[in-house]
């Protein structure tokens, strides 16, 4: 897959349109409507936005503008332009409340709430954690992706801890710890199904799904993607779901979410990976109503970055932080505990 963020300069009003995405359809792909093709590849885009782009002549297949019902075929090059500039131009300071767990002269540890995007991107042009960081801290070092201060990231709808570097030295030192797998990262998750093993390890390279580019998938033979390892242990079995702790050895995009789906225990209410449906249990009306109530309490994937540990880049001390499980997560777990006891599962 190709994905560009370059400014398009060959249109009638080039200053108003920007090339956000450029894709090449996989060889042998069956004909697929271009609007659906883009929706499966562009994160947070709506069908209405794609159709507006098509009506404006801003979707191109092999450099020719097409309508939304045009069929994309294997090998086709697809580009879409929108009226808002790419996220590289959006790194502006914004006043934002940030839950700072720890701060000194060279780093800051933050407890990110669910729903907060870490850095600007398509569909999230403002109000991100990075916009808030730039407001609170005037100078932040850039990482290899030109994102100031960010040593690592967690997904929008995942809550919990992350560390931000305030100096070049801290960025280099912390990044090396993450690369060398010496940092400590533990997550609490609620997964569908009764996990029989008390503990285990999931290994498998993670890369973009060949058909749904918004998903990551596991390549068990390591033919694609990057190697990834997740360790887990069961905290409590609650009948049709299991509360677990996951420890990352590597840090790939959607690692726990992709690994748990591969393992056969998709995270509860993880819409991206199908966890927003009843994957275990009966189809009785009362049970369905119960699950729907849990979905309403926890309207996101059940994943929380609870523990973060690393060596301080300057003084060499081991720092370890824990973030309490948020209310939405706790309430859903409590409902499952009550259900499991009531049903004697």
Residues marked as catalytic: 155
Please report, for residues 12, 17, 59, 81, 87, the alpha-carbon distance to residue 9 in angstroms, rounded to integers and kept in the order given. Answer: 9, 8, 15, 11, 18
Q: How far is CA 61 from CA 6, 33, 67, 79, 114, in A?
A: 17, 11, 10, 7, 37
Q: Note the Cα 39 to chain centre separation in Å.
A: 17
Q: Which of 271, 289, 287, 268 is nearest to 279 (CA)?
A: 268
């Amino acid at each position: 897959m190709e994905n560009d963020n370059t400014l398009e300069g060959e249109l009638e009003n080039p200053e108003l349109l920007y090339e956000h995405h450029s894709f090449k359809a996989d060889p042998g792909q069956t004909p697929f409507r271009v609007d659906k093709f883009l929706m499966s590849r562009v994160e947070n885009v709506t069908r209405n936005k794609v159709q507006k782009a098509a009506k404006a002549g801003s979707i191109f297949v092999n450099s020719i503008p097409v309508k939304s019902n045009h069929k994309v075929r294997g090998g086709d090059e697809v580009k879409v332009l929108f009226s808002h500039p790419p996220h590289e131009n959006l790194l502006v300071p914004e006043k934002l409340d940030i839950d700072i767990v720890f701060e000194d002269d060279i780093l800051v540890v933050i407890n990110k709430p669910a729903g907060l995007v870490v850095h600007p991107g398509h569909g999230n042009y403002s109000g991100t954690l990075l916009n808030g960081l730039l407001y609170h801290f005037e100078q932040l070092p850039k990482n290899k992706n030109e994102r100031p201060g960010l040593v690592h990231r967690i997904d929008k709808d995942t809550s919990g801890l992350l560390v931000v570097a305030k100096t070049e030295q801290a960025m280099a030192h912390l990044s090396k710890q993450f690369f060398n797998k010496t940092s400590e990262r533990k997550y609490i998750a609620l997964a569908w199904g009764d996990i029989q093993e008390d503990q285990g390890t999931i290994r498998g390279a993670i890369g973009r799904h060949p058909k749904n580019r918004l998903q990551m998938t596991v390549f068990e033979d390591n033919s694609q993607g990057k190697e990834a390892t997740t360790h887990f242990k069961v905290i409590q079995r609650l009948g049709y779901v299991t509360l677990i702790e996951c420890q990352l050895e590597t840090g790939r995009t959607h690692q726990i979410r992709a690994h748990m789906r591969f393992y056969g225990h998709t995270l509860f209410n993880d819409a991206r990976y199908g966890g927003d449906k009843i994957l275990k249990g009966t189809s009785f009306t009362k049970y369905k109503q119960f699950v729907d109530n849990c979905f309403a309490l926890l309207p996101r994937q059940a994943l929380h970055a609870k523990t973060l540990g690393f060596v301080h880049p300057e003084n060499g001390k081991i720092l370890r932080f824990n973030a309490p499980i948020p209310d939405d997560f706790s309430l859903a777990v409590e409902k499952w505990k009550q259900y499991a006891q009531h049903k004697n599962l």
